[in-house]
């Protein structure tokens, strides 16, 4: 049984005490894609900023990537599996519908005291999970929470559709959250959704609404479908809007930010968001050139890279901002 620490105590600050990430070994370049669909490096690089992405091995499941990222985060935080009270895993590519991928990760990392569940918020999942975790810690329900953003998008990409297959990659990122006396941490978070726009970015088949059968298999409904241009517009608008709201909640200006870590979908989206927030690109974390869009993992991998490369110093203000299918979006201001 997981201990419940709940009590009528004052709210607590929540710090990220460790980060980790993992990307598969196999690199797929734009030149590789030229051999698969009618596209070229110039189009992909100039329209998206992506040059290569990582692709998981056939026998490498979402839980395998998640466990590796989690172990790296635990090492960074200096904690053991037994110290973890809760695992929240964000993905749209679970190993199975049941059990949750979080439960599979629990076994792989030896966190047998933890309660475990998955959440589904597409590319926004990692920040949604951070917000859920911080609510549990603030309320004294749990002390130490592992949050994972992970996706094996290669398993739901239509490799014949040039509109989507050039955009995505596989990977995992993780963070350990814990209350730290006198520590810095998550200052404010805003989450938003608009289900009216659900059809702009979806996997139409394979769920209960449209199971894949022998009769409909040829329609290839179990792959990502996206209206790119419309998604692009909503991404920019909602990322800017939620970032402004969360900065306002935190009582900060964009000039106070040492680092902005956005969802890694398209360099043109990132540039438009940075420009509208009046943040110079040098202060924005970009790694989509190497990893493409890894959905729930993207901002988590970028956070880990920013942490390990010393882009954030203790006390710095950092903005994380994401957007994805649902549609969903979220922004968080963290004091590092
Ligand atoms: O992670 C969740 C959030 N996701 C996003 O935010 C993604 C948002 N959308 C985008 O990033 C962009 O819309 C894309 C990168 C997907 C597409 O860029 P775009 O500048 O919006 O291009 P488009 O869809 O308007 O297509 C322009 C042209 C079309 O040809 P026509 O109709 O003008 O003749 C496409 O058929 O580019 C063509 N095209 C391609 N050409 C070469 C589309 N994909 C490719 C390709 N290679 N891979």
146 C-beta neighbours (distance < 10 Å), count: 34
* pLDDT tens per residue, range 138-196: 999 999 999 999 999 999 999 999 999 999 999 999 999 999 887 788 999 999 999 99
Ligand 1 contact via 162 beta carbon (within 6 Å): yes
Q: Does ligand 1 come within 6 angstroms of the Cβ of 232?
A: yes
Q: What is the mean pLDDT of the chain?
A: 96
Does the pLDDT of residue 3 top 60, yes or no?
no
- Angle among Cα 93, 154, 157 to the nearest 5 degrees reads 90
Give the residue ranges of DSSP H helices in 161-250.
162-165, 228-250
Spatial distance between the Cα atoms of 320 and 287, rounded to a whole number of angstroms: 14
pLDDT at 10 (0 to 100): 66
For 9-64, the pLDDT digits (tens) are: 667 889 999 999 999 999 999 999 999 999 999 999 999 999 999 999 999 999 99
Give the start-to-end residue ranges of the domains of the chain.
6-181, 186-335
Catalytic annotation, pick one of 263, 266, 287, 307: 263
Q: Calculate ∠ Cα 71-25-36, nearest 5°.
A: 140
96-113: per-residue pLDDT in tens?
999 999 999 999 999 999
Q: Is the pLDDT of residue 70 over 70?
A: yes
CB distance 202 to ligand 1 below 6 Å: no
Indicate which residue's Cα is closest to atom 10 of ligand 1: 228
Whether the domain at 6-181 and the domain at 186-335 fall into the same CATH topology: yes
Question: Is 163 touching ligand 1 by the criterion CB < 6 Å?
Answer: yes
User: What is the dotted CATH code of the domain comprising 186-335?
Assistant: 3.40.47.10
Write out the two tokens for 210.
């449209």
What is the Å distance from ligand 1's center to 43 Cα? Answer: 9
Q: Give the span between the Cα atoms of 252 and 250, in whole angstroms.
A: 5
Residue 277 structure tokens = 């927030």
Which residues, at least 6 apart from 74, have a Cβ–Cβ distance to it below 8 Å?
Answer: 18, 20, 80, 81, 84, 109, 146, 176
Query: Helical H runs in 179-297?
Result: 228-250, 267-277, 288-291
Active site residue 263: yes
- Give, for 33, the enclosing helix (H) or strand (E): helix 30-34
pLDDT tens column, 304-330? 999 999 999 999 999 999 999 999 999
CA separation, residue 175 to residues 28, 31, 35, 69 (Å): 27, 33, 37, 9
Mark whether 123 is an active-site residue: yes
Q: Which of 103, 116, 123, 165 is catalytic?
A: 123
Predicted structure pTM score: 0.96
CATH code that applies to domain 6-181: 3.40.47.10
- Token pair belonging to 323: 């957007």
Query: What per-residue confidence (pLDDT) applies to 180?
Result: 86
């Amino acid at each position: 049984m997981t201990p419940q620490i709940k009590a009528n105590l004052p709210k607590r600050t929540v710090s990220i005490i460790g980060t980790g990430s993992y990307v598969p070994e196999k690199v797929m370049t734009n030149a590789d894609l030229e051999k698969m669909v009618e596209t070229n490096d110039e189009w992909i690089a100039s329209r998206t900023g992506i040059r290569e992405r990582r692709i998981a091995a056939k026998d490498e499941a979402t839980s395998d990537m998640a466990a590796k990222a989690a172990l790296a985060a635990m090492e960074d935080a200096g904690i053991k599996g037994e110290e973890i009270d809760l695992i929240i895993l964000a993905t749209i590519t679970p190993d199975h519908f049941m059990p949750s991928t979080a439960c599979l990760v629990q076994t792989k990392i030896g966190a047998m005291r933890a309660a475990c569940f998955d959440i589904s918020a597409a590319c926004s999942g990692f920040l949604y999970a951070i917000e859920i975790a911080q609510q549990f810690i603030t309320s004294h329900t749990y002390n130490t929470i592992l949050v994972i953003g992970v996706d094996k998008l290669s398993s739901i990409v239509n490799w014949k559709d040039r509109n989507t297959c050039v955009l995505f990659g596989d990977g995992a990122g993780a963070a350990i959250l814990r209350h730290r006396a006198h520590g810095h941490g998550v200052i404010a978070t805003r989450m938003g959704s608009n289900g009216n726009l659900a059809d702009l970015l979806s996997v139409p088949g394979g769920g209960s609404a449209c199971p894949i059968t022998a009769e409909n298999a040829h329609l290839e409904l179990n792959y990502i479908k996206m209206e790119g241009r419309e998604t692009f517009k909503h991404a920019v608008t909602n990322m800017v809007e939620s970032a402004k709201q969360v900065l306002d909640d935190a009582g900060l200006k964009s000039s106070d930010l040492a680092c902005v870590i956005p969802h890694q979908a398209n360099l043109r989206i990132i540039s438009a968001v940075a420009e509208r927030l009046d943040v110079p690109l040098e202060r924005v974390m970009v790694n989509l050139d190497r990893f493409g869009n890894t959905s729930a993992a993207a901002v988590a991998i970028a956070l880990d890279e920013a942490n390990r490369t010393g882009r954030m110093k203790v006390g710095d203000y950092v903005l994380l901002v994401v957007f994805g299918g649902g549609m969903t979006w979220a922004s968080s201001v963290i004091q590092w």
